[in-house]
Amino acid sequence: MASWLTIDAFLAGEGTLLDVRSPAEFAQGHIPGARNLPLFSDLERAEVGLTYKQQGSQAAVQAGLALVGPKLASLGDALLAHRHAGGAGPLRLQCWRGGMRSASVGWLAETLGLPVQLLEGGYKAYRRWVLGCFERPWPLLLLGGRTGTGKTDLLLELDRRGLAVVDLEGLAHHRGSSFGGLGLPPQPSNEHYENRLAAALLSCAGVSPIWLEAESAQVGRCRIPAGLWRQMQAAPVLEIRRPLEQRLSRLVAVYGVQDPEDLAEATRRIARRLGPLRTQEALSAIERRDWREACRWMLDYYDRCYDHELERQRRRPEPGAAHHSLDLHDWDEDRSATALQQHQLQLQGQARVNSEGVIEESA
């Protein structure tokens, strides 16, 4: 007998998670880690929906049966394959509202003798859960710094050390500027970005602090959810600083390998903000393949933007939004991450540094 689970129990379960909605629905957004086993194609779903509107529920069910009947054997093969590949745990199935699609595929799985769990309320309930996640209080600590200071690399190093990190840019497939999408996969929909963020936050539940990059509200086309953004505005910020020449070297390493025309096009997109002089100088440097000079002109603009935003925050401080800074000189990620941990723990009064420079946490 298939069991219906609430969202928390469903997400905590083991076993392969199958989303039986159409491919277009799945592409728009899905539970991270789910696999798509569509009961209907996009065209078939539209056909059944039109039948429902024009002729009512019974006619729509009949139309659905006519479409699904010839697929039963192949759907059964797919269920068996997913069960075999997924190892322990029942198959977990969900559709849009926890209705006929998941119930129908659940019936087929049961007929084949496979254990099944279904999600009460379907993906719609999951989306309510996702949006609710961002309203929960989270112990955030933001990593700030000018462009080229290596914030993302540092967060990844902290993550490798087992600290709680949510990579806002990595989840969005974007570095957050006009050039941020170069060399990266296509961005997810905003809906799926929210899904990925909620899953990342859930993985950090019970841990403090949770490190995030001090981003603007928009990461490429993806927007940080309002509830999380409000908490970021009130969170403490640890700003890292590096010498200009090292920042340029880091930017050249990232963008010097990109297509020059893509770099030029990204520059033209912000020409009005750069101004005619910076735009022309940057484009000329790109044409000469002088990546360092091109980055230098870009930094002149982005540094002004960063300083303006920093000054705005200082004029209108949020409660709890303390601002601290740390010079990382030309240190590599390993040494920088150690210094960052020292600084964070000392701010929290949880550590001291011994004579060898090793972090010793307080009892």
Active-site positions? Answer: 95
Taking phi over 0 as left and psi of -120 to 50 as alpha, with beta for the rest, 105 belongs to alpha
Return left, alpha or beta for 95; rule: phi > 0 is left, psi -120 to 50 is alpha, else beta.
beta
Give the residue ranges of DSSP H helices in 2-99. 7-12, 23-28, 42-55, 57-68, 72-86
d(CA 201, CA 51): 41
State which amino acid sits at residue 237: V
Cα 110 from Cα 129, distance rounded (Å):
28
β partners of residue 351: 361
Token pair of 310 as six digits: 């920093």
Please report, for residues 166, 252, 292, the alpha-carbon distance to residue 350 in angstroms, rounded to integers and kept in the order given: 22, 38, 41
Return the DSSP state at 15.
S
